[in-house]
Structure 1
Amino acid sequence: MPESVEPHEPGELEPIRVPDPHLEGIEASVRKLMEQSAQQAQQLDHLAATPAASPSPFAAFGLPGLGGPPSAAPPEPRPILELEGEGYEDELDSLSDWVDDFLLPVYGAEVTTAAPWCLEWQEHDDVVAWLHALWLAYEQHKDPEAGLSGLFVWHRDFLTHALAAVRAPGGPLSACMTSPERPAHRLLPGPPPSARTEKANTAEADTPGSGEPGQPAS
Structure 2
Amino acid sequence: MSEPAHESEPVRIPDHDLDDLVATVTRLVAESRKQGETLARLTDDQPAPQDGEPARPEHPENPASASGPAGGNTNGTKEDGPASVFILALGAQAYAVELAALTNWVHNLLLPVYGREITTGRPWCHQWQEHPEAVARLHALWLAWQQLTDVQAGLTGPSTWHRDHLDPTLLQLRTPDGPFGACTTSAARPHHRLLASPEPTGL
The TM-score, its normalising length taken from structure 1, stands at 0.55
Partner of 1:130: 137
Counterpart of 2:87 in structure 1 is 80
Q: Paired residue for 1:50?
A: none
CA deviation digits over 1:73-120, x for unaligned, max 9?
A: x65661101112111100000000000000000000100111101110
SS at match of 1:106: helix
SS of the residue corresponding to residue 113 of structure 2 reads: helix
Task: For residues 123-160 of structure 1, give each alpha carbon's deviation from its aligned partner in whole angstroms, at most 9, with x where no partner exists.
Answer: 00000000000000000001111110000000011000
1:143 is matched with which residue? Answer: 150
For 1:192, which of 192, 195, 199 is the aligned residue?
199
Report the Cα distance in structure 2 between the residues aligned to 1:84 and 1:183, rounded to whole angstroms.
31
Aligned to 1:115: 122
The Cα of 1:185 is off from its aligned counterpart by 0.6
Paired residue total: 124
Higher relative contact order (CA 8 A, sep 6+): 2
State yes or no: 1:169 paired with 2:169: no
Deviation at 1:192, TM superposition (A): 2.2
Q: CA deviation at 1:191?
A: 1.4
Aligned to 1:203: none
Aligned partner of residue 118 in structure 2, secondary structure? coil
List runs of 5+ in structure 1 lacking aligned partners: 1-70, 201-218
1:103 and 2:130 matched: no
Equivalent residue, structure 2, for 1:90: 97
In the TM superposition, structure 1's runs of 4+ consecutive aligned residues that sit over 2 Å from their partners are 74-77
Structure exhibiting the larger radius of gyration computed from Cα positions: 1
TM-score after normalising by structure 2: 0.58
Structure 2 residue runs without a partner (length 5+): 1-36, 41-80
Whichever residue aligns with residue 119 of structure 1, its letter is: H
**Cα separation, 2, equivalents of 1:113 and 1:191:** 24
Q: Distance in 1 between matches of 2:91 and 2:128?
A: 18
Look up the equivalent residue of 2:177 and give its one-letter code: G
